[in-house]
Structure formats: C-alpha cells, structure tokens
Structure 1
Amino acid sequence: MGMDGAEAAQGEEQRGDPPEAPRRRSDETRAAILRAARDRFAADGYERATIRLIAREAGIDPSMVMRYYGNKSGLFAAAVEFDLKMPDVYYIPRRHVGAMLVRHFLSRWEQDETLTALLRVGATNPEGAEEMRRIFRTQLRPLADELSPDAEEAATRSALAASQILGMALCRYVLQLPPAVDMSHEEIVRWLGPTIQRYLTGDAPPPPPDEAG
C-alpha cells in the first residue's frame, strides 16, 4: 500500500465510531450516582439528602451529579423511577388474582430497594408523594380497570388495593413492626390476598340505609 493509501486508511480509523470505554464509564458513573441517591433518599429523606453527600457516597465530584441530572429534583426523579412489572392477569384465573398480586409485590419490594426509598420520601415530601401516585396511577390502575365489575368503581378499587399493599410495605419494610417483619410470604398472602381479591373483583358493599326511612 502506498503512502496515500496508508494515510487514507488511518483517516478512516480516526473517523470511525468512538471507543466504547467512555460510554461504559459514563454508564458506570450514572449507576453509581443512582445507587448512592437511593440509599441517601431512603436513609435521610428528600430534604436532608444533599448532592454533596450523594456524590461523596458515589465517589465522584458533585459537579458530575449536576452534569447528569441537573439538580436534586431531577436526580430524585431518576432515582425513584420504578417499573412495578405488573403481571398479565389474562392467563390467571380471576379468583387467584389477589394472592398473585400480593406475592408479586412482596417479590418486587424485596428485590429492589427503590420502592422502600420512595415510600420513605413520599410520606414526608410532596415530590415523593406525587411520584408514588404516578406509579400506582399508571401501573396499578389499568389492572383495576381490567378487573373491576363496574368501570366507574375502578379508581376506588385501585386506591383500596394500593392502601393494603402500601400499608403492609410501610409496616414491614419502613417501620419494621415485628409481627409484619416476622411473617412469611405465604402468611401475608393468606391474610392479605383475600382482601386484595375483594377490592378488585368482589361486589361493592351496599349503600347505607336511608336514615330518614
């Protein structure tokens, strides 16, 4: 190959795709930031968790956190973004939906601490509460729409089911009440499954009697 050909080949290499190493480093940095943010938001709450503390825990300069996420609000939104991975109930007998959902939520909560962090923050911070509402509105509500005997009751049924799921999570993973912590998954399913089942698929309670009557 002549000189011109060698120079052309070298130019092709220089104009090729950028190396993967910087991209990997960027992904690793983001992952470290999000891990540290979840830990700090869960331990300290939204107000007390600071960019400086999160950066220190991630082992990076605070400016890197700002570079990737802009501010604490943006970091929080990214850190608590969560997919409930709701199961497809189409293939599940309707009478088993309550038990299946309880098992599913126990598994999701224990596989990923993001929900616990969000629950801690949501109890005291408006942004955390709104994020929790968004997650359940967009991911649990469609299941209630599908299962509810009356479409007009779906929102109420979804809220009631969420109250049981979040109540157990609060007692078991945040407050760590001994009875709730000590219960096995199957015990929780036996107690909570029928209630979730009734909220999503059961008949609505009758209206109160007319006092005037």
Structure 2
Amino acid sequence: MTAPPTRRSDATRAAILRAARERFAADGYERATIRAIAADARIDPSMVMRYYGSKEGLFAAAAEFDLRLPELADLPADRIGEALVRHFLDRWEGDGTLVALLRTASTNPGAAERMRTIFADQLGAAVARTVADPATAARRAGLVASQILGLAFTRYVVRLPPVADADPAELIAWVAPTVQRYLTGPAPR
C-alpha cells in the first residue's frame, strides 16, 4: 500500500509557509512583503493571498509553533533548569521561526500575543506538572520565560557579542542555575 500523493494545494501551502518563516526571520514582520515571500516560494503573490488572506493571516499561520518541550516531570528535579535552557538553545539555533516571532513581537501586538500564548500554554503547562505548589506555577513559568526570551533576544536579535559569541554549553552553565531556582527554589514571601 502506498501513501496517497500529496495534493498540489498542500505542497503550495507548505512552500508558502517555509518561505514566509525564512523571510520573517530574515527581514522581520514589517519589512517582509507578500511579493518577496511569493517569489521565495516561486508562486504568484495572489496564491499567498488566496490561501492566507493577508500578511497578518500568513504570519499567524507561520508563527504556529510547538516548543516540543521535554517531559519535565520525567527528569530529576535538580536537572530541569539545565534541560530547559539546553532545549531552548537547541530550538533557537535550529529554527528561524522563533527568532522571527521574537523579533516581530517587539513591534507587532499580534506577534506579541502569539508569543504570550505559545509560552503561557506550552511552557506554563509543562512547569505546572513539575512544581510542588500549583499556585506558583504561572509565576515560575513566566520567570523562566523571561530568562529564555531575554537570552534569545540578546543572542539572536540584538546579537550582543559576549552572548552571541558564547558557546551554548557556557550559556547553559550561566543561565541554568537561575532557571532552576525559578522552578524549584522557595517562593518569596
């Protein structure tokens, strides 16, 4: 039995999303154009509009992102911070979608909302499964996000040399203890 052939519209949508993610990552939301994305996908701009309706609709589809977090509850409690920082550095290094979303979130309210939703839903749920006091889970997840997003902004958007040039293992060694404290340290009174 063979798999059914990929429909042409599925292939076109995939090409548009791939081109959009790359273009948004390279140019940011404001400078990326439907025309440039269509050229990158080797299709007519009207096809982008047909499938996504607008630049905003295309960005929303391109910004769908699964953080693919490891199952934190399966890890030793004292290694969760390190695992999270390593995981996020691997994701940022290998996927321009998060970089594009981060860059765009600083100037576009829709992108900022998308980033909030991704981190609140995905990271928030993962942290909630690991903390002793569920009442502190959202705060702890937010603080972890502040470190992860701050690191990413500094390394991939601003490209501050001491951080942008650092080896990932060194960054993990610096940042993981702070993330670990947010996750397992006592809550302030």
Give your verdict on TM over 0.5: yes
Which residue does 1:135 correspond to in 2? 118
**How far 1:185 moved relative to its partner?**
1.6
Structure 2 counterpart of 1:160, from 143, 146, 152: 143
Contact 2:19 2:37 in 1 (8 A): yes
Gapped runs of 5+ residues in structure 2? none
Structure 1 counterpart of 2:58, from 55, 75, 95: 75
Q: Distance in 2 between matches of 1:172 and 1:46?
A: 19
Task: Point out the structure with max Rg over C-alpha.
Answer: 1
Q: Please give the per-residue CA displacement for 1:45-72, whole angstroms capped at 9, x wherever unaligned.
A: 3233222221122211111111211221
Which residue does 1:8 correspond to in 2? none
Structure 2 counterpart of 1:35, from 18, 23, 44: 18
Structure 1 residue ranges (4+ consecutive) displaced by more than 3 angstroms after TM superposition = none
Identity over aligned pairs, percent: 61
Whichever residue aligns with residue 92 of structure 1, its letter is: L
Whichever residue aligns with residue 180 of structure 1, its letter is: V
141-150 vs 73-82, greater mean Cα deviation: 141-150
Q: Please give the per-residue CA displacement for 1:79-116, whole angstroms capped at 9, x wherever unaligned.
A: 11111001112321100000011111111111211000
1:20 is the counterpart of 2:5: yes
Gapped runs of 5+ residues in structure 1? 1-18, 207-213
Q: Please give the per-residue CA displacement for 1:6-38, whole angstroms capped at 9, x wherever unaligned.
A: xxxxxxxxxxxxx836x1x33332222112212
1:95 is the counterpart of 2:90: no
Contact 1:171 1:180 in 2 (8 A): yes
The alignment's C-alpha RMSD in Å is 1.6
Structure 1 counterpart of 2:160, from 156, 173, 177: 177
Contact 1:149 1:203 in 2 (8 A): no
TM-score (norm 2): 0.92
